[in-house]
Every structure is written in structure tokens, then in C-alpha cells.
């Protein structure tokens, strides 16, 4: 990790986003090796991210 990465993490946490929003963002940015790790640690989150990515406006069936 670099000082820059640490400073960026401070900016991200200042807005107090939900934990799983950060995980989904990390999945979007991850390289192949890190994505495999994230998918293994958070399989349900990966599944939901894929579903929402392919859904119009990110809304799943039954959501308004």
C-alpha cells in the first residue's frame, strides 16, 4: 500500500459509504487475482453485483 492509497481511503471513508458498496467498488476496480480473492470472500456480493450490472438501472425484479 502507498501513502496515496491510504489518503484516498480517508477520502472514501469520510462519506461513510456502506461496507458492501466499498466491496462492490473494489470488485469493479480489481485486477484478475484480486477479483478472484474478493469473489471467494464475498460470493453473494459478487452475484448481486453481476445481477445489478445487467439489470436496467441496476434495479432487480420487484424493485421500484
Contact indicator for 24, 45 with CB cutoff of 8 Å = yes
**pLDDT-above-70 percentage for the chain:** 100
Q: What is the pLDDT of residues 13-28, one digit of tens each?
A: 999 999 999 999 999 9
- Chain center to CA of 19: 9
State the average pLDDT for the chain: 95
- The whole-angstrom separation of Cα 4 and Cα 17 is 20
Boundaries of every domain in the chain: 16-64
Stated pTM of the model = 0.86
Amino acid at each position: 500500500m502507498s501513502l496515496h492509497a491510504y489518503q484516498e481511503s480517508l477520502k472514501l471513508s469520510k462519506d461513510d459509504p456502506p461496507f458492501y458498496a466499498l466491496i462492490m467498488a473494489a470488485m469493479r476496480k480489481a485486477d484478475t487475482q484480486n477479483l478472484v480473492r474478493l469473489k471467494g470472500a464475498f460470493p453473494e456480493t459478487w452475484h448481486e453485483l453481476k445481477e445489478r450490472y445487467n439489470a436496467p438501472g441496476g434495479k432487480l425484479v420487484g424493485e421500484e
